Amino acid sequence: MSAGFQSDFKEQVRTQTDLVNLVSEGVALTAQRGGREYVGLCPFHDDHNPSFRVYAEQQSYRCWVCDEGGDCFSFVMKRDLINFREALEYLAERAGIEIPKHSRSNRNSNGISNADLYEILLWAESLFHNSLVKTEQGKEALDYMLDRGFSQETILQFRIGYHPKDWNWIQNQSQGRFSHEALRTAGLIAKRDGNDGYYDHFVDRVMFPIRDKQKRTVAFGGRALPGSDAENKGKYQNSPEGPLFSKSRLLYGLDVARDGIFRTKTAIVVEGYTDCITCQQLGMVNVVGVLGTSLTEMHVQELKRFADKVILVFDGDDAGQNAADRAISKFLSQEVDLRILALPDGLDPAEYIEQNSLEKFQDLVTNAKEAWDFKFVACLEKYGTESLDSCERILNEMLELLSLSPGLAGSVRENMILGRLENRLGVSEIVIRQKYKEIRKQKRTTSRPQTQMQSPAGFKDNNRQRRIDPQQGEFKSILKKSQKYDLAEQELLEIILSAPQWIEKIQQQVSVQDFEHQVRAELLQFCFDMAEQGQEPSYHNVTIALEDPELKRLAQRIDEISREKKIAEKMRNAEQLHEETSIPILLYHALDILKFRRMEMEKENLAAKGRTQISTFTSGELSDSDRELLKQASQFHTMRAGHKK
Ligand SMILES: [Zn+2]
C-alpha cells in the first residue's frame, strides 16, 4: 500500500466527517459567534465551566484547561482510547465510506489474516441470518425467537440467525471458497477426533453475532432450542477464543451502547447476550453484556473510558451474591463508582421486565446500591445487628473482603471505606484499623504456607467484645476524635480550594506538620507553595498545576464535596462570621480543631513517656491521666460548641 493512497483515504474520511456533529454525540455544545465556534464541557477533564471549544471552520477543537486539541481523528483516538488506524476505520464506517481492503490492518496468525477472518465471519453471519428469516428449516427457530419476545426489527438489527441441523452445513456452503483451516480459525468448524475431517461447531442453534466496539463481527453465540438434542451439549455455546475474540476483553453490545454510555456516563452490565438485547430492544441505551465470564479488570478498564458509574445486574440467587463478592473485591480499588443490583426471586432482567415493567426495572437500576453498601446490607441481613457478636461478624466479613482488594492499601478510598464502617457500625476507627491490620497480617501469613500462624499480641478473642463495646461511651468519644481531626484536615482543604483568598490567614495559624494524612499534607504543601509564588491556590489553578495523579484525584474529590457543601457560599456569607475574629465560622472551626490537636499532641508527648496512649485505651482500662485528658477534651468541646451559632 502506498503512503499516498492512505493519505488520500484519510483526507476523504476527514472531509466527510463533521467535527461539530461528532463531538455532539457526547458533549452538549452551544453555538457562538454565529455558529463558527461551539463551547461545551470538556470530555477529557472534570470540567465545570465550559472550557471546550470546537471551531467549525477549521474543523478543530481545543480545551483551554487541559490543553487537549486536534482534529476528528485525535478526538476519537482520545475519546475511545484507540489507535490511529482504528479511529480511521471507525470514522470511515461512520461516514459510510468503504475501507479499501488492502488498507485494513493485517496481523497474521497461521497465515490467515484478521481481514480474512472478518470476511469469513461476515459471510457466515449473512448465511445464518438468511437461514433464520428466509428458509423453511429456520422457521421453528424464528417462531421460538418471536415467541420469546424478540421483535422482527431486533432480529434484523442484531442480524440474529440460525445454523441448521447439519454437521457439515457451513462447510458445504463454503464450497471451497474458504479453506478448512480458515473456517477453523474463525471458530466455525472443529477437527474431528482422530484427524478424520471436520464438523460444524454450531449445529441446530439460534446464532447471535458478537461484535467488537467497531461493529465488526468477531464471534458467535449459539443458543439451543428448548428440548433439542443440541441442548444436551449446553444451552449456550460461544465461539472458541481466537485472534479476534477474547471473552475477558469483549463486552457484548458495546457497539450499540457506546454512545448511550458516553452520554449517560453510566454502563449497565448484564449477563449474556439475550438479556442485553432484551434491554436494548426496550430502549435502554447503555446496556452491555458479559459472555460466559464474570466482569474482568479488562472489562472495567474498557468501560471506564466511557462511564463513571458501572451497575452490575445479577440474578438474585446465591450465584449472583458470590459474583457480587468477587466483583467488589476486584474493583474496590478502581476509580469507578461500582453499583450492584440483585434482582428479586432469582429473575434475570428479561424475566423481571416481563413480569413487572421496564419502568420498575429502571427504578431498580437507578437505585442500585453502591457495591460496598450492597455487601454491608447483605451482611446485616445475614447476621442482624442486635448483639455485639453479630456486629463483630459483620466487621470481620467486611474487613476480610477489603483485605482481598489489591492496590487499596493506604489509598484515600480505603480511608473513606474504613470511615464509613465506623459510621455504620458505631465502632471506633482506631479499633477498626487495628482489626483490619490483624486480618491483613493473617492473610499474608496464611498465603505463605510454611510459616506458622501467630496471633498478634493484644488481639486475644476475649478482648474483642470489649474493644467494640458501644456502651463504653467515654472510650468511644476519645477514639472518635481521630475522625474529627480527619474531617478538619479535609475541611481546611475544601476551604482553601474554594476560598483561596484566606490562604494567608491559614498559613499564619497551621503548618503542614499539623496534618497527619500524608496525601492531604502534600496537597496543603502544594497550596502553600503556590501562594508563596503569588498565585491563588483555587481549585482551578491547583488542578492545572498539579501533575501527581493521586493529588489531582484528591483535589477533584475535595472540589466535588465542597460544591455539595456550598463551602464557597458559606465563606462569603457575613452571617457566618465568627464574632470576635471576623473569620468565617467554618474556617475558625477547622483551624481550632487542628490547633487543639497540636496542643494535645505536645501535652501527650510530655505525659506519655514510653507508654503509648492508644494501647491503654484499646485495652479498655483508663488511667487517671487518661481521664484527665478526657475531661480536658470534653471541656474543650463544650467551649467550642459555644462558638457555633
Ligand atoms: Zn479539558
- 371 sits in which H/E element: helix 371-383
How many CB atoms are located within 10 Å of the residue 262 CB?
Answer: 20
Q: Which residues contact 45 (CB under 8 A, 6 or more apart)?
A: 51, 63, 65, 66, 68, 543
The rounded distance, in Å, linking the Cα atoms of 383 and 611 is 38
Q: Which residues contact 67 (CB under 8 A, 6 or more apart)?
A: none
- Separation of CA 311 and ligand 1 centre (Å): 26
- Separation of CA 62 and ligand 1 centre (Å): 8
Query: How is residue 284 written as a grid cell?
Result: 435502554
Query: How is residue 40 written as a grid cell?
Result: 461545551
What's at 148, amino acid-wise? Answer: R
Report pLDDT digits (tens) over 167-191. Answer: 999 999 998 899 999 999 999 999 8
- Separation of CA 404 and ligand 1 centre (Å): 35
- Separation of CA 309 and ligand 1 centre (Å): 20
Residue with the three cell numbers 449459539: 222
Alpha-carbon radius of gyration of the chain: 30
The rounded distance, in Å, linking the Cα atoms of 237 and 222 is 5
The alpha-helical segments, DSSP class H, found in 426-546 are: 429-447, 461-467, 473-498, 503-509, 518-532, 539-545
SS3 assignment for 543-570 = HHHCCCHHHHHHHHHHHHHHHHCCHHHH
Query: Do the beta carbons of residue 170 and residue 127 sit within 8 Å?
Result: yes
> What three-state secondary structure class fits 380?
helix
Quick one: pLDDT at residue 635?
56
Domain-wise residue ranges, the chain: 3-103, 114-238, 254-376, 481-641
| Domain covering 3-103, topology | DNA Primase; Chain A (3.90.580)
The rounded distance, in Å, linking the Cα atoms of 97 and 493 is 52
- Separation of CA 69 and ligand 1 centre (Å): 9
- Separation of CA 393 and ligand 1 centre (Å): 46
Q: pTM (2 decimals)?
A: 0.56
Report pLDDT digits (tens) over 58-83. Answer: 899 999 888 889 999 999 988 876 77
Instruction: Phi first, then psi: give them for residue 240, nearest 5 degrees.
Output: -65, 155
- Separation of CA 42 and ligand 1 centre (Å): 5
- Separation of CA 50 and ligand 1 centre (Å): 9
Quick one: pLDDT at residue 319?
67
The rounded distance, in Å, linking the Cα atoms of 483 and 478 is 10
The reply to whether CATH 1.10.860.10 applies to domain 481-641 is yes
Quick one: pLDDT at residue 446?
61
CA dihedral 242, 245, 247, 250 (to 10 degrees): 160
Closest CA to 255 of 298, 286, 212: 212
Query: Do the beta carbons of residue 349 and residue 279 sit within 8 Å?
Result: yes
- Chain-centroid distance, C-alpha 590: 33
The reply to whether CATH 3.40.1360.10 applies to domain 254-376 is yes
Q: Which residues of the chain are under the pLDDT cut of 50?
A: 1-5, 103-109, 448-479, 609-621, 636-637, 640-645
Residue spans of beta strands (DSSP E) within 141-260: 161-163, 189-191, 198-200, 205-211, 217-224, 236-238
The alpha-helical segments, DSSP class H, found in 367-428 are: 371-383, 388-403, 412-425
- Separation of CA 64 and ligand 1 centre (Å): 7
Query: How is residue 572 written as a grid cell?
Result: 462569603
Closest CA to 165 of 123, 238, 222, 122: 222
- Chain-centroid distance, C-alpha 613: 40
Closest CA to 352 of 339, 343, 365: 343
Query: Do the beta carbons of residue 113 and residue 103 sit within 8 Å?
Result: no
- Separation of CA 429 and ligand 1 centre (Å): 38
- Separation of CA 263 and ligand 1 centre (Å): 17
Quick one: pLDDT at residue 452?
34
Closest CA to 340 of 318, 362, 363, 320: 320
Residue with the three cell numbers 498545576: 545
Residue 341: strand pairing partners: 313
- Separation of CA 51 and ligand 1 centre (Å): 7
- Separation of CA 190 and ligand 1 centre (Å): 50
Closest CA to 300 of 248, 224, 365: 248
- Separation of CA 564 and ligand 1 centre (Å): 22
- Separation of CA 364 and ligand 1 centre (Å): 33
- Separation of CA 535 and ligand 1 centre (Å): 21
Q: Which CATH superfamily is domain 114-238 in?
A: DNA primase, catalytic core, N-terminal domain (3.90.980.10)
- Separation of CA 517 and ligand 1 centre (Å): 29
Closest CA to 103 of 118, 88, 93, 117: 88
- Separation of CA 71 and ligand 1 centre (Å): 15
- Separation of CA 130 and ligand 1 centre (Å): 47
- Separation of CA 295 and ligand 1 centre (Å): 30
- Separation of CA 68 and ligand 1 centre (Å): 6
Query: Do the beta carbons of residue 312 and residue 326 sit within 8 Å?
Result: no
- Separation of CA 47 and ligand 1 centre (Å): 7
